[in-house]
Amino acid sequence: MGHLLKMTNVVIEGLSGTEWTPIVKGVDLHLNRGEVLGLIGESGAGKSTLGLASMAYTRQGCRIASGSIVFDGMELTTAPRHVLRNIRGVRIAYVAQSAAAAFNPAHTLLKQCVEAPVQHGLMSYQEAAEKTVETYKRLLLPDPEQIGYRYPHQVSGGQLQRAMVAMAMACQPDIIIFDEPTTALDVTTQIEVLTAIKEITRQFRTAAIYITHDLAVVAQLADRIMVLRYGELVEEGETRQMLAHPKEEYTRALLSVRKQQKPSSPAALKEKPLLEVEGVRASYTKGVEVLHDVQVRVKPRTTVAVVGESGSGKSTLARVITGLLPPTKGRIVFDGQELSADLKSRSRDVLRRLQMIYQMPDTALNPRQKLRTVLGRPLEFYFGMQGKEKTDRIVELLEMVELPPEYIDRYPTELSGGEKQRVCIARALAAEPDLIICDEVTSALDQLVAEGVLKLLQRLQDKLGISYLFITHDLATVKAIADEIVVMCQGRVVEQGIKEEILTPPHHEYTELLLSSVPEMDPDWLDNLLARRARRRARKPSDQGPRKPMRQPAPAAASFNR
């Protein structure tokens, strides 16, 4: 008996304009029963395309041009539609990156989870429903009997992702394709999902292809790893082997990403603060407070990282500081001078000195404006620059962010993600600000690209003396760039101080949870962590684990408890 799945010299092409260009360029892949294979690489490496091809499925505008895909002795590339239909969802199942997008908003969870077994005539609705509830229990979903009757928008992201694992398990498939199932999640939620996946693949000896760009994540699950780049195989090997002795330069680069560190500069931290946020409270709808009494200080020429899970109020804080959302209470002092709460009544000079960079460079740049316009606008607006003076300055800005001057007449769509984010940085720099608020600026970027952007931001700070308020949920980023750290949880600051102090134990309970949840490049990390947490829970039976108190979803309830 050969491999469960064997792909040989698979070429997948995508239609760009009127031409077919290869996305996957002749890759061989094999998977044995019960084995977990990690597929890693940056975006555009062809991981998802290859993963989907294992069910002989291609997205709109793509085709399998050549090669063979053999599953359990069947050639899939030439198989008729009804044969493929009886494999998809039954013997090979798929778990998508965004559960929120992959669940149909019009139907309840249970209805979608039982659909495959019922439609393929494997089980009655009743049997399938019972089995699904079973799986919900195994995946530790809360209220497993009832949660299936909810609609996707009524459960949290992590729960939805686990429900999707349950949906994939419905027919007890031979293979599950996991396509970046934890990328959109917080570190704390990521652990829940990783645990669920590990549990289920072990218990049922399900083979899996785990697609991700995060080597540390895949290290927890995979027996074997394939590194892809530009649609080609870079390196393949046993997980431990590869982590210990990567052969290729590219793999080594991926491995070293998380190791970037900078010491905080104690001299700068003694100075008078540039920005002071004092006792700020804010809310979007009346009565529901999102920020409770938040204090943050940013010293000149330093970087303050604001960390916390999604929903902790980090981005709201940024909106309050920029004046987009006037606080209900508290004040914001900038360079010794109190800022008016509302953006509209701030002077042009204050606006200039406080700039912002967003998470999604795609949506932050007008696709119909050339970089000349994008970067020229702040120069005209703040400094009244025109003509040659303006053009010279734009070129200078492009050079500052390490982009070639020819880019001046390009449109944002002609740039890569990292380049676009550099344009956003240049746009903020054009105003010659004292403080830039960076809202998850590297979250949408690949790790190597993100690393480049972080290094650039650091160089600009050293050169121009800008301060950053750096909002992020990624602690590796924090280690790489911060002088001080502010830890936020449910709209409150739970801990604040110099980076080295915050990162050295003893930590605040919540900081500990965040720190311990960041995956490490150690294949045993997840098992050890879970064992440690289980031991702690056993020691303190009254305590339901560190996660419980953080999981109250309604900030309103929290504020009433005070």
Partner 1 sequence: MSPLKELLLKRIAFGALTLIVISVLIFVGVELLPGDLAQAVLGQSATPETVAAFRKELKLDLPPHVRYFAWLSDFVQGDFGNSLANGRPIAGLIGWRFANTIFLAATAAAIAVPLSILLGILAALYRNSLFDRIISIVTLSMISFPEFFIAYILIAFLSVKLGLFPSMASINDRMSLWDKLYMIILPCATLTMVVTAHMMRQTRASIINILGTSFIEMARLKGLKRLRVVVLHAFPNALSPVINVVAINLAYLVVGVVIVEVVFVYPGLGQLLVDSVSKRDIPVVQAAGLIFATTYVILNLLADILAILSNPRLRSPK
Integer CA distances (angstroms), 102 to 155, 180, 188, 189, in order: 14, 13, 22, 18
Instruction: Please say which residue, 71 or 94, places its beta carbon nearer to partner 1.
Output: 94
With contact defined as beta carbons under 8 Å apart, do 420 and 305 qualify? no
Of 100 and 494, nearer to partner 1 (C-beta) is 100
Residue 104 in contact with partner 1, rule: CB under 8 A: yes
x/- mask, partner 1, residues 74-93, rule CB under 8 A, reads: ----------xxxxxxx--x
Among the listed residues 151, 81, 157, 153, the one whose alpha carbon sits nearest the alpha carbon of residue 113: 151
Contact pick of 66, 70, 115, 455 for partner 1 (by CB under 8 A): 115
Q: Where are the beta strands (DSSP E) in 219-314?
A: 224-229, 232-238, 275-283, 289-298, 303-307
The size of the chain, in residues, is: 562
Q: How far is the CB of 52 from partner 1 (least distance, A)?
A: 8
Choose which of 66, 98, 172, 516 interacts with partner 1 (CB under 8 A): 98
Q: What is the C-alpha to C-alpha distance for residues 232 and 27, in angstroms, rounded to an integer?
A: 6
59 binds partner 1 (CB under 8 A): yes
Q: Between residue 323 and residue 382, which ones bind partner 1 under the rule CB under 8 A? A: none
User: Least Å distance between CB 162 and partner 1?
Assistant: 15
Site string for partner 1, 119-138 (x = CB under 8 A): xx------------------
What is the Cα–Cα distance from 123 to 390, expressed in whole angstroms?
70
Nearer of residues 153 and 535 to partner 1, judged by Cβ = 153
Q: Tell me how far, at minimum, the Cβ of 151 lies from partner 1, in Å.
A: 5
Asked whether 165 and 200 are in contact (CB, 8 A), the reply is yes
Closest distance to partner 1 from the beta carbon of 63 (Å): 16
Closest CA to 28 of 17, 15, 39, 13: 39
110: contact with partner 1 by CB under 8 A: no
- Indicate which single residue of 50, 102, 318, 423 sits in contact with partner 1 (rule: CB under 8 A): 102
**Stretch binding partner 1 (CB under 8 A), from 95-103, 212-220, 327-335, 458-466:** 95-103
Strands 484-489 and 492-498: antiparallel
Asked if residue 107 binds partner 1 (CB under 8 A), the reply is yes
HSE-CB of 157 using CA atoms within 13 angstroms: 18
Nearer to partner 1 (CB atom), residue 106 or residue 538? 106
Instruction: Quote the CA–CA distance of 18 and 103 in Å, as a whole number.
Output: 33
What are the backbone angles phi and psi of residue 102, rounded to the nearest 5°? Answer: -90, -15
108: buried, middle or exposed (CB in 10 Å: 19+, 13-18, 0-12)? middle
Of 88 and 247, which has the nearer Cβ to partner 1? 88
- In whole angstroms, how close is the CB of 32 to partner 1 at the nearest point? 22
Question: Least distance from C-beta 282 to partner 1, angstroms?
Answer: 21
Q: Least Å distance between CB 59 and partner 1?
A: 7
CA distance 467 to 458: 10
16 has which bridge partners? 19
**Residue 265 CB, nearest approach to partner 1 (Å):** 45
510 Cβ partners below 8 Å, 6+ apart? Answer: 487, 489, 494, 495, 546, 550
Smallest gap, in angstroms, from Cβ of residue 122 to partner 1? 11
3-state class of 206 per DSSP? coil
Candidates 270, 329, 262; CA nearest to 295 is: 329
551 binds partner 1 (CB under 8 A): no
| Smallest gap from residue 551 Cβ to partner 1 (A) | 15
Q: How far is CA 426 from CA 274, 298, 403, 420, 440, in A?
A: 22, 22, 10, 10, 17
Q: Name the one range near partner 1 by CB under 8 A: 102-110, 273-281, 453-461, 520-528.
A: 102-110
Window 135 to 164, contacts with partner 1 (CB under 8 A): 151, 153-154
94 binds partner 1 (CB under 8 A): yes
Q: Assess 96 for contact with partner 1 (CB under 8 A).
A: yes
Q: By the criterion CB under 8 A, which residues form the site for partner 1? A: 52, 55, 57, 59-60, 84-90, 93-94, 96, 98, 101-107, 115-116, 119-120, 151, 153-154, 167
